[in-house]
Structure 1
Amino acid sequence: MSRELTLRIYSAIVMIAVVLACTWYGGLAFRLFAVGLGVLVYYEWSKMTRLQETSLRGYAFGWFAVIVTFANLLIGDAALTVPLMGGFVFTACLFSMFGNWTRWHAIGILYASLSAVSLSAIRGDDSVGFVAMLFVFAVVWSTDILAYFFGRAIGGPKLAPRISPGKTWSGAVGGTFSGVAAGMVVALSYFQVSSIWLPLMALFLSVSSQIGDLFESFIKRRFGVKDSSHLIPGHGGVMDRVDGLVFACFATFFLAIGFSAAGGTPVTSLGAFLLGR
């Protein structure tokens, strides 16, 4: 076994142990994990898209925006977190349209902030949130791992050759089926599944996670970088490892908003919404 592969395996074990421990404890421990993830995501995003070179004021505003949003998520009024995030993103959009900032400033604030907010909202503080988070992990991780193996074993037409030449349709389909199966195993371990809602949500999460992977590949290709950073030994950057996870959480967050708007009833628990409980 090569030194690089050994390092990659050890890093993965440590990361999984930390993530699952924080998920088990929930509450402040998980919110700290989510906020730490969001901070690292914004750091890598700003480096990749060269925000500091484009506009120092925009770069500073971005850090101010994510820090205030995350501080409120940790110790403030939970009801203010989304309005704060939305206000900062809107402000950055205005400066992008009428100032010398670029759209990458606003997208970066949204991407990093929503990473922490959506993860925290799914986990919540109860046992339903714990199961919901395990469900998301099972779908996303199985999709990512098995898509790689199916793609290598079967090959065939490329999924998006201009964005990510290594990805194939066989990998995407195989990863999706694997993600749905893994999610159902987790769900059935905790309660009886009596409707099609959970398989559909697993499918939704799996497809969303692959879109997130393609999105980050697009960003890296757009700015000519190989990895989002070198923070994780053997793995590259944090965004390289969580792109699918955070996109799946984003998608769940916006889907819940859509259902709430259509039905006129607010979603009080994102984890319960995800599991159809």
Structure 2
Amino acid sequence: MTLGKDFLPRLGSALVLAPVALFAAYAGGWLFTGFLGLAALLVLWEWVVMTAARPKRPVLAFAGLSLAAAAGLTQWQGVAAGLAALGLGAAPLALVAERRVWALAGLAYAGAAVVPAVALRQDPAAGGVALFWLFAVVWGTDIAAYFCGRLIGGPKLWPRVSPNKTWSGAIGGTVVGTAAGLLAVSAFGVPATPALLAVGVLASIASQGGDLYESAMKRHFGCKDSSALIPGHGGLMDRLDGFVAAALVALVIGVLRNPQSPASGLLGL
């Protein structure tokens, strides 16, 4: 098996960022909200630069204020308030942006980087476990897809969008990511039910879909990486693409199963 030349920088970055993310998720509250809010603002900046949004400063200002409000209101009042802040922020953004569709899409994408995870973490009983489950699924999927793709190889998953991804990596990532999620919740005494297994499969597939979406974005705009913030990974969009999609799917499932407590609904508690 031949590892990519970016493997060691990727490993080093992961060893630094993963503990920080886990600690923030464990702490919860405004620390976690601030951590994700800052990440979402950086994602927004990368999106604006990648899509060449104009005028740059007004777009960043209106979208950034909307994101900050969405993060704070989600923590304070819940997911509906956070989504309302994004909706209200979309109106002035649409007025000032020259490329309205891409600007609004950037606000929605950056919002998905913060609102779902903060909404899940709000549950005092299950929020922390739900976030650890989410991290386990996304990271397990990403790591297994990387190694299975290089060890097994085989047919490409979608060569037009991401020429390095294979079906073996996608399947291996789904299996390992789902299993990692079940092991994570089992460590907290949450039963690994068939329903949670199915949710894990959906979240793992969503994570890989988020990765493919971001690859398509970069290909469309002729970018290798969303930025150069993280050695070996590129930018935060490159690091959070799977997490954004998986968190959004997790929140939708959690709200459908238990609107008052999405984290409990997600885990079937």
Q: Normalised by the size of structure 1, how large is the TM-score?
A: 0.86
Tell me which residue corresponds to 1:24: 26
Distance in 1, matches of 2:81 and 2:190, equals 36
Distance in 1, matches of 2:121 and 2:150, equals 34
Q: Which amino acid in the other structure matches residue 144 of structure 1?
A: D
The equivalent position to 1:149 in structure 2, one of 124, 147, 150, is 147
Tell me which residue corresponds to 1:41: 43
The equivalent position to 2:128 in structure 1, one of 124, 127, 130, is 130
The 1:57/1:73 distance shift into structure 2, 3 A limit, reads same
- For residue 114 of structure 2, give the secondary structure of its aligned residue in structure 1: helix
- For residue 175 of structure 1, give the secondary structure of its aligned residue in structure 2: helix
Tell me which residue corresponds to 2:113: 115
Distance in 2, matches of 1:201 and 1:176, equals 11
Cα offset for 1:176?
A: 0.4
CA-to-partner distance for each residue in 1:126-166, whole Å, 9 max, x for gaps?
24111111111111101111011111111111111111011
Checking the alignment, whether the CA contact within 8 Å between 2:182 and 2:192 is kept in structure 1 is: no
Tell me which residue corresponds to 2:209: 211
Please state if 1:185 is matched with 2:186.
Answer: no
Checking the alignment, whether the CA contact within 8 Å between 1:90 and 1:106 is kept in structure 2 is: no
Distance in 1, matches of 2:190 and 2:248, equals 26
Checking the alignment, whether the CA contact within 8 Å between 1:46 and 1:108 is kept in structure 2 is: yes
Checking the alignment, whether the CA contact within 8 Å between 1:27 and 1:125 is kept in structure 2 is: no
The equivalent position to 1:161 in structure 2, one of 159, 176, 194, is 159
- For residue 51 of structure 1, give the secondary structure of its aligned residue in structure 2: coil
Cα RMSD for the two superposed structures: 2.6
Tell me which residue corresponds to 2:197: 199
Distance in 2, matches of 1:50 and 1:172, equals 32
The equivalent position to 2:240 in structure 1, one of 227, 239, 242, is 242
**Percentage of identical aligned residues:** 38
Any residues of structure 2 matched to 1:247-266 within 5 Å, and which?
Answer: 247-257=245-255, 259=256
Checking the alignment, whether the CA contact within 8 Å between 1:58 and 1:101 is kept in structure 2 is: no
Distance in 2, matches of 1:35 and 1:86, equals 17
The 1:134/1:6 distance shift into structure 2, 3 A limit, reads same
Q: Which amino acid in the other structure matches residue 111 of structure 1?
A: Y
Tell me which residue corresponds to 1:263: none
- For residue 225 of structure 1, give the secondary structure of its aligned residue in structure 2: coil
Tell me which residue corresponds to 2:268: 276
Q: Which amino acid in the other structure matches residue 267 of structure 1?
A: P
Distance in 1, matches of 2:231 and 2:153, equals 29
Out of 133-142 and 65-74, give the one that drifted further.
65-74
Please state if 1:84 is matched with 2:85.
Answer: yes
CA-to-partner distance for each residue in 1:97-149, whole Å, 9 max, x for gaps?
xx843311111111111211111111225241111111111111011110111
The 1:194/1:33 distance shift into structure 2, 3 A limit, reads closer
The equivalent position to 2:15 in structure 1, one of 13, 16, 38, is 13
- For residue 52 of structure 1, give the secondary structure of its aligned residue in structure 2: coil
Q: Which amino acid in the other structure matches residue 67 of structure 1?
A: A
- For residue 187 of structure 2, give the secondary structure of its aligned residue in structure 1: helix
Q: Which amino acid in the other structure matches residue 138 of structure 1?
A: A
Distance in 2, matches of 1:156 and 1:51, equals 39
Checking the alignment, whether the CA contact within 8 Å between 1:52 and 1:59 is kept in structure 2 is: no
Distance in 1, matches of 2:192 and 2:159, equals 40
Number of aligned residue pairs: 266
Distance in 2, matches of 1:10 and 1:101, equals 37
Tell me which residue corresponds to 1:230: 228
Distance in 2, matches of 1:8 and 1:170, equals 21
Distance in 2, matches of 1:194 and 1:153, equals 29
Cα offset for 1:243?
A: 0.6
- Unaligned 5+ runs, structure 1: 261-265
Distance in 2, matches of 1:87 and 1:251, equals 23
CA-to-partner distance for each residue in 1:194-252, whole Å, 9 max, x for gaps?
64211011001100000000000010001000111111123211111111011101112
Checking the alignment, whether the CA contact within 8 Å between 1:144 and 1:175 is kept in structure 2 is: yes
Distance in 1, matches of 2:140 and 2:118, equals 21
